[in-house]
Amino acid sequence: MEARALRALGRRAFVLAFTLAALVAAGCKREPAEGGEEVTVAAATSLRKVFPKLREGFGATHPGVRVSATYGASGELARQIEGGAGVDLVIVAARDPIDRLAAGGHVDAKRARVVATNELVLVGPKGGPKLTFQTLGTALPPGEKIAIGEPGAVPAGRYAREALEKLGSWKALEGRVVLGGNVAAVLAYVERGEVAAAIVYRTEVPGAAGIEVLDGGKGEWAPKPEVWAAVTTKARSRADAEALLDFIAGPEGQRILASYGFGPIP
């Protein structure tokens, strides 16, 4: 009996030692470094066409980094980050959302930077009224409307309102303006033939069906849209987010942006 008990005790000791060894071995297996897990990007809707290419280009030189992106109006993205959304890098279509996030401690204003520029254009359905920025206030046909982004949340809408105010036509058009929640929604009003014209970024035009550019936003009255980016102060993948931002602002990122109609960093 005593010998059997000793043998049983020995078996239990062996099982316990094996289990402990397995646990130790498991504990030594390191998960991927936090910086290499995933970079979460919140990007303005106006970047929805180009960002997949930027992600692809970045991935070619950083194969171990996963990048995911969500798109929305710049003002709405800022609100989401203020509400605690897990974002590593934010890219918006104006400086205001960055300043707002910096004031709340969500980004470092000193590290934020312009990564591209854009241009406002007046677009309309092919075969529609031939309008210009200067003639909108007087030549928009009776009963017709114009679409712009919601000025309080969509930088393209704020730029549009600013342009129309400088041209002295905002008051005449204010009651005939249809507001969109982002630039894609504004463009859709024209594509569906619901408005005679819309003010969007030039980068929205390629690939749009049945739309033509009626006028470009050039001149002293025309705003100069800028694309701003910053790594958030609570970024979980800070090193990789900084690397992605450097890539976007670097030669290859700028080449990709230019191929989609964005202008250079001023």
- Structural domains of the chain in order of their starting residue, each with its CATH number: 34-117+226-259 (3.40.190.10), 120-216 (3.40.190.10)
Q: Is 199:121 a contact under the CB 8 Å cutoff?
A: yes
Please, which residues have CB within 8 angstroms of residue 182's CB and are 6 or more apart in sequence? 45, 71, 72, 73, 149, 154
Phi, psi at residue 207, to the nearest 5°? 90, -10
Quote the CA–CA distance of 159 and 96 in Å, as a whole number.
12
Q: Residues of the chain whose pLDDT is less than 50?
A: 1-36
Q: What is the pLDDT of residues 108-135, one digit of tens each?
A: 999 999 999 999 999 999 999 999 999 9
Q: What is the pLDDT of residues 175-200, one digit of tens each?
A: 999 999 999 999 999 999 999 999 99
Please provide the DSSP assignment of 212-227 as one string. Answer: EEEEE--STTS---EE
Quote the CA–CA distance of 178 and 154 in Å, as a whole number.
13
Q: Is 23:16 a contact under the CB 8 Å cutoff?
A: no
- Signed CA dihedral, 220, 221, 222, 225: sign only: positive
Closest CA to 123 of 190, 194, 207: 190
pLDDT value of residue 215:
97
pLDDT value of residue 37:
75
Q: Which two tokens stand for residue 4?
A: 């059997």
Quote the CA–CA distance of 128 and 89 in Å, as a whole number.
40
E strands present in the chain: 39-44, 67-72, 89-92, 113-117, 120-125, 146-149, 177-180, 197-201, 211-216, 226-231
Q: Longest C-alpha distance within the chain, in Å? A: 108
E strands present in 79-184: 89-92, 113-117, 120-125, 146-149, 177-180
Please, which residues have CB within 8 angstroms of residue 64's CB and are 6 or more apart in sequence? 32, 36
Q: Is 233:107 a contact under the CB 8 Å cutoff?
A: yes
Closest CA to 233 of 124, 115, 89: 89
**DSSP 8-state class, residue 152:** T
Closest CA to 122 of 201, 18, 10, 8: 201
Report long-range pairs for 140-143 (Cβ below 8 Å, ≥24 apart).
140/173, 140/176, 140/196, 140/197, 141/196
E strands present in 67-208: 67-72, 89-92, 113-117, 120-125, 146-149, 177-180, 197-201
